[in-house]
Amino acid sequence: ALLKLDSLHLEMNVYRRGGHLLNRGFRHPVTSALQHRTYRENENFSFDWDKVPETLDKERKKFAQFSEIIGESRFSDTDLNIENIEYTATQNPGEWEHVQMLLDVVSPRLIPVPSPTEECSSGFFMPKVKPGSLPYFVRRNSNWLYPVYSKLRAEPSYPNTKFTVTNVKQIEGDIFRLKKDLDAFLFDRYKQEFIGQPNELMQKITYRGNLEKDCKDFLKSKGF
Amino acid sequence: LIHFYKRSKVMLAKARLAEVLRRRSSEFIKLGRSASTLPANDDQFDFLSSFDIKAHQARYGNPQEVWVESLETVQPNFTGIRQLHQDVFAVYPRIDLIHKNVVWQTTYSKVNYAHAKTVREMIHYFGGGAKPWPQKRMGRARHGSIRSPQWKDGGKAHGPRGPKSFYHMIPYHTRVFGLTHTLTVKFIQDDIHVVKDLEIPTDDPDFIHEIISSRGWGKSTLVVDKDDIFPRNITAATDQIKHVNLMPLYGLNVLSMLKHHTLILTESAVEELTKKILFALNRTDSYARTGLSHCGPKPVDLKIEKHRPVV
């Protein structure tokens, strides 16, 4: 047992606080269990009528299968006991090509490019306008969505209060023209002027308030 | 008993120091893997060969065009034209991103070895833990040891403590954008020349000097090819010239590009570079990859893809 005398204890704390050993900008690694949960936190909002079988017997069979696989560990905090499942592992590089083909469909390495003519029920469409036609152009995300983001920003003079801010990013061309059009669009909608800050270097406009939906509607109407 | 624990305390600190340095050195070894923004060439599942670049090509704006040269003659020799991708060579240049990359490259491997011994360390190495004279009746100032800070050859109270490393990682996308923005800046300033291949007729260094002067290349050139094995003649010719450097594509970095006046890329290097950067910009596992920069290298336990490492 280590005796911690007062002076020694103080010095150990000095070494432990140890700026001389830790780096500038050192980050402690997060445990993987917290990052990637493989089990549900609670059973709220997890019931789906479509997944319930039609008869009692079918339900019983399904539950028997479920408890075979997972068993008692569904009530514990530790990881699932998946070793009960029987499987065979092979190391055949020739076979992996088929697995790779399936993986490329299920989880592709690159974000797939949707076809421009496809019409979706969600209202999604690929950009209809080319960069030269309008005085400005707003690029899409790498995920083919609009680059409009809302976030909280702290008030400088009152650090405990926060207000929302909307960013319209990835703007190419005449930003001031786009801001003018956006201001007119928002005034038509709300009969109110909104404070916006164009930033030419960073290619973005920042509006006070949560105007995410309105900016997206504007961009949709333009066909970006 | 007290002396024993003091000694073990100092030994513990020393051992801790050594352990930290050992850990940092192993991190430096792994750093190459997590720091390189471009994925490694020895990927077991060579997906880049099947990567269809046409789907991502010329999405927005017009692709840039560049002459393709040949190094077989001293006089300028243009063999064709090549299109360059806008997302790699024609972005809206931002100097602050380039600056961040340069600062990171210069400081992440820096170690400050300044270390000033404290009173206890001085006592351990040089002695003097006893009270030099009694507290009272001497007519002298009262002291506990001859190694306190006010004494000559005493310890330093709040001095620099131990080797301090400035290792840090900037985010993954900042590094990717650093590459793209420096390439655009170089391209805008006409400092990029695309070359068919690096075959030259002689291994004479004067040939290189003549090429540089006739074609108007700058004071220093960086020659980048896809593989790390270069043809014999160019390696022999540039071996003695310190301002003409050969580099494989996986070594491409912002600092080197800024240090050299001109950048010469082979056609295969340009192709591979566009593929890798487009992958870096449009990858599906960017959350996991940015986590590597933030938390350091560690295996990612993705449920579906247990055998596919995040690079």
Q: Angle at Cα B291 formed by Cα B286 and Cα B292, nearest 5°?
A: 100
Q: What is the mean pLDDT of residues A40-46?
A: 64
pLDDT exceeds cutoff 50 at A19: no
Query: What does residue B290 show for φ and ψ, rounded to 5 degrees?
Result: -70, -30
The ipTM estimated for the assembled molecules is: 0.70
Q: What is the pLDDT of residue A48?
A: 73
Task: Identify any residues that bridge with A164 across adjacent strands, giving them in sequence order.
Answer: A152
Per-residue pLDDT tens over the stretch A76-106: 655 555 556 677 887 887 888 788 788 878 8
Q: What is the pLDDT of residue B228?
A: 93
The winner for highest mean pLDDT among A92-96, A123-127, B296-300 is A123-127
Per-residue pLDDT tens over the stretch B121-171: 999 999 999 999 999 999 999 999 999 999 999 999 999 988 888 888 899
Lowest mean pLDDT, pick from A191-200, B20-29, B49-58, B249-258: B20-29
Higher pLDDT, A117 or A2: A117
Q: Which stretches of chain B are assigned E, i.e. beta strand?
A: 64-69, 78-84, 111-112, 164-165, 192-195, 221-225, 244-248, 262-266
Q: Which residues does chain B have within 8 Å of residue A19's beta carbon, measured at their own beta carbons?
A: 161, 164
Q: Which residues does chain B have within 8 Å of residue A35's beta carbon, measured at their own beta carbons?
A: 291
Q: What is the pLDDT of residue A67?
A: 80
What's the mean pLDDT when you consider all of chain A?
Answer: 78
Asked if the Cβ–Cβ distance from B92 to A110 is below 8 Å, we say: no
Total beta-carbon pairs less than 8 A apart between chain A and chain B: 89
**pLDDT bucket at B293, cuts 50 / 70 / 90:** confident
Asked if the Cβ–Cβ distance from B295 to A29 is below 8 Å, we say: yes
* Contacts for A170 with CB less than 8 Å, ≥ 6 apart: A138, A139, A140, A141, A147, A203, A204
d(CA B272, CA A182): 40
What's the mean pLDDT when you consider all of chain B?
Answer: 84
What is the share, in percent, of chain B residues with pLDDT greater than 90?
64
Asked if the Cβ–Cβ distance from A23 to B165 is below 8 Å, we say: yes
Q: Does A37 touch chain B (CB under 8 A)?
A: no
**pLDDT bucket at A64, cuts 50 / 70 / 90:** confident
Residue B166 DSSP one-character state: -
Higher pLDDT, B260 or A45: B260
